[in-house]
Amino acid sequence: MELSRRDFVNRSTLLGAGVLIAGSAEVLATAPGAIAAPAGGEAAAAQGAPTALGYGPLVPDPDGILALPEGFRYEIVTYSGRTTLDTGESTPSNHDGTAAFKGRHGGTVLVNNHELKGPRANWKYPVPLLEGHVYDPAAAGGCTVVEVRKGGKQVTEWVGIAGTSTNCAGGATPWGTWLSGEETEDKAGQNGMTKDHGYVFEVDPYDREANRDPKPIKAFGRYAHEAVVVDERRGHVYLTEDASKPNGLLFRWTPPAGFEHGKGKLRTLADDAGVLEAFKVFDKQGKLVDDLSRATRPGTVYGVDWVKVPDRDARTTPVRKQFKDGEITRARKLEGMWWGDEGVYFVSSYAREESPLQHDGQVWFYSPARRTLTLKVILGVNPDVWADRGNFDGPDNITVSPHGGLIIAEDGEGQQHLFGTTEDGRTYALARNELNLGTADTPEFSEFTGVTFSHDGHTLFANIQDPGIMLAITGPWHRCGR
């Protein structure tokens, strides 16, 4: 049932603007440097006030890869051009979205996207075309599956799917598979492709045979996919779109009557199965909010409706362009997303000239039960992109830490970090990428991607996208300063 504007206005009058979600959502308070940020935390530290956040200062790495706090260490799991697959080819490059699953003997099985766009000839280390696991032999991207021992030592790596394009983010399913999204809208005949792209594919981390004959889940739509989460109780699937001209959309897919999720079930769906909808949000006065950048105060609450997508396969017009102004809500760089607290957390990485207002990152929470959207974090435009303390920008992949708070992968300007939040919303640097791809005078550092914890919470996995390095980080997680 649609939540009417009148219902939301009445509900907002009763609840007020400061609706809070119980549980771990409380970690998503205003971050330091944010618009309307409270005093304290990193902001206070910059003014000389004492503070003890996170795990302490970052220690430079003599090997020039990853700076970590004292007591932490990293293990290189895969490194494009150096490590190899079980078939002998090089680990593919451009690591992106990653999910961790329970492995044998305390180990971990990871599915790793490789964000490789366009023809295979453009890339030195594409995903190998493993027989029987190829969607489009012209495409360079795909997923590999990595098995590691406890602590991060690699056991083996193998191709999950190949011949897909620009595999960026995705999401783990409740039934133990990975949904990998293509962040592209290329059709057959464009950029050397022989098939249409811009779909979601399912990858089984345990059963190689289940990945044979890759089939796109066309019911989820064809657009520049980022992350995916599944509402196991209601059956809905939520998907983010990272696109511009115009800005992208948040989508909800509702399964057809009688459909039950599970391994292999998505492959059985008809191309037009279920209903794909885009969101539109409105304020307490019932006015449509055209772009999420309009929200500048943490705690802002909007009502949410959903509008059916006319042509989900975008045969003539990209999905986000099928709506007129005033029909839906847009947002710049809708990227990382995860399910928690009976709702959906998702990121708008930043907003620039194509948005009404500018920011350096937002984290939102959508409550399906309330049909409300709450702004949890907003980062002001970063004044110092080379700082370690308090100046973070471009939140991308996010994960919940079993030790409290969030860990966020930075895809911003200047220095790149993994950074965390405390339970009262302050931020701290957890790791810094020290692999300079530029020069001493003009340094360049690749983004972090694929941040995820092992099932036992002892190992944090994260990637440096370029050249493509998967890292396993261990240390005294219990000692986080609050």
CATH code of 203's domain? 2.120.10
pLDDT digits (tens, 9 = 90+) for 307-362: 999 999 999 999 999 999 999 999 999 999 988 889 999 999 999 889 999 999 99
Over range 55-73, report the average pLDDT: 96
**425 falls in which pLDDT band (50, 70, 90)?**
low
Domain containing 315 equals 5-51+85-411
Q: How far is CA 170 from CA 4, 118, 236, 335, 457, in A?
A: 31, 19, 15, 9, 21
Give a yes or no: residue 479 inside a domain: no
Tally of structural domains, the chain: 1
Pairing relationship of beta strands 343-348 and 362-367 according to DSSP bridges: antiparallel
- Rounded Cα distance, 113 and 203, in Å: 10
pLDDT in tens, 164-213: 999 999 999 999 999 999 999 999 999 999 999 999 999 999 999 999 99
Q: Residue 162 has what DSSP assignment?
A: E
pLDDT value for 413: 87
How far apart CA 410 and CA 430 sit, in angstroms, is: 11
Average pLDDT, integer, range 126-142: 98
Neighbours of 479 (CB within 10 A): 12
Q: Determine phi and psi for 257, rounding to 5 degrees.
A: -55, 135
Per-residue pLDDT band at 154 (split at 50, 70, 90) = confident
* Helix count and strand count (H, E) for the chain: 2, 27
CA dist 199 and 19 (Å) reads 35
Residue 377 inside a domain? The answer is yes
Residue 12 lies in a domain: yes
Which residues on neighbouring strands pair with residue 474, listed in sequence order? 73
Do 182 and 203 contact (CB within 8 A), yes or no? no
The pLDDT of residue 421: 78
CA–CA gap between residue 316 and residue 150 (Å, rounded): 49
What whole-number distance in Å separates Cα of residue 429 and Cα of residue 473?
14
Structure tokens at 325: 């102004």
Residue 297 placed within a domain: yes
Is a pLDDT exceeding 90 seen at residue 16?
A: no
**Does residue 264 form part of some domain?**
yes
Which run of H or of E encompasses 12?
Answer: helix 5-15
Q: Is the pLDDT of residue 7 over 90?
A: no
Note whether residue 164 is domain-resident: yes
Asked if residue 201 is part of any domain, the answer here is yes
Closest CA to 254 of 268, 244, 239, 243: 239
**Cβ atoms within 10 A of the Cβ of 423, count?**
15
Q: What is the pLDDT of residues 221-264, one digit of tens each?
A: 999 999 999 999 999 999 999 999 999 999 999 999 999 999 99
Residue 15 lies in a domain: yes
Structure tokens of 283? Answer: 């304020």
Q: Which residue has the higher pLDDT, 405 or 42?
A: 405
Distance CA 323, CA 412 (A): 30
At 396, list the tokens.
């991308």
Using the predicted structure, report yes or no on whether residue 34 has a pLDDT greater than 80: no
Q: CB of 470 within 8 A of CB of 110? A: yes
Q: pLDDT for 253-292, tens place per residue?
A: 999 999 999 999 999 999 999 999 999 999 999 999 999 9
CB 77 within 8 A of CB 84: no
Percent of the chain surpassing pLDDT 70: 87
Give the model's pLDDT for residue 393.
85
Q: In angstroms, rounded to a whole number, what is the distance separating the alpha carbons of residues 420 and 289?
A: 30
First to last CA, the chain: 42
